[in-house]
Amino acid sequence: MKEKKQRSNWYVASVHYATAGIFWPWIIGILISFGFMAMGMEVVVNLAFEQYPLIAALISTAIFAGVTYVAVIASARFIQKRYIVEDMDAVLKISLIYFVGVTAFFISTSFWFPDPEYPMTAINWVATVIDSLVLFGVFYWASKKYLR
């Protein structure tokens, strides 16, 4: 078993955010996408987003909220095995700042560099903000529960 290392709060927070906020959601998102493609369902998913955008957005948000929850659990276990942390509340706050800051940056870039095929309309922007708020809540709540 590896010896636990003492690390600063910002370092552990960056590991937590990178693991729970980027790595696992990205990997699981790719696996879900490949699963839909393997079943020939990408057309059905695209049609659902065109015909029933609200329902499709709610399902997508629910899936990624679940992914975020599981990713936080995995990240918390990883951190507890590897690092000695004196102030987990500070780690939680810093990782949430990372999460909010990076998400806000990417949402704002959709206005600066719009995609002509998928323009950021007011409805898309509101849906993106609501989705982000749900994910912030899940990330915070799960982190508060599992980061000890």
Instruction: Report the pLDDT value the prediction gives residue 92, as an integer from 0 to 100.
Output: 95
Q: In the structure encoding, which two tokens stand for residue 79, read together?
A: 């951190």
Instruction: Report the pLDDT value the prediction gives residue 146, as an integer from 0 to 100.
Output: 96
How many CB atoms are closer than 10 A to CB 126? 10
Cα 87 to Cα 69: distance, rounded to the nearest angstrom: 21
Residue 104, in any domain of the structure: yes
Instruction: Report the pLDDT value the prediction gives residue 120, as an integer from 0 to 100.
Output: 64
Q: Is the pLDDT of residue 6 over 80?
A: yes
Look at the chain and report how many structural domains it folds into: 1
Q: Which neighbouring-strand residues pair with 6?
A: 84
Share of the chain above pLDDT 70, in %: 95
CA-wise closest residue to 136 among 100, 95, 109, 104: 100
Instruction: Report the pLDDT value the prediction gives residue 119, as an integer from 0 to 100.
Output: 66
Instruction: Report the predicted TM-score, pTM, of the whole model to 2 decimal places.
Output: 0.85
Query: Tens digit of pLDDT for each residue in 76-130?
Result: 999 999 999 989 999 999 999 999 999 999 888 877 776 666 666 777 778 888 9
Q: 25-29, 66-70, 79-83 — which is least confidently predicted?
A: 25-29
Cα 25 to Cα 31: distance, rounded to the nearest angstrom: 10
Secondary structure of residue 12 in the 3-state scheme: helix
Residue 133, in any domain of the structure: yes
**DSSP E strands, the chain:** 5-6, 83-84
Residue 148, in any domain of the structure: no
Residue 63, in any domain of the structure: yes
Output phi, psi for 83, to 5 deg. Answer: -125, 150
Q: Is the pLDDT of residue 72 over 90?
A: yes
Instruction: Report the pLDDT value the prediction gives residue 118, as an integer from 0 to 100.
Output: 65
Range of the domain at 46: 5-143
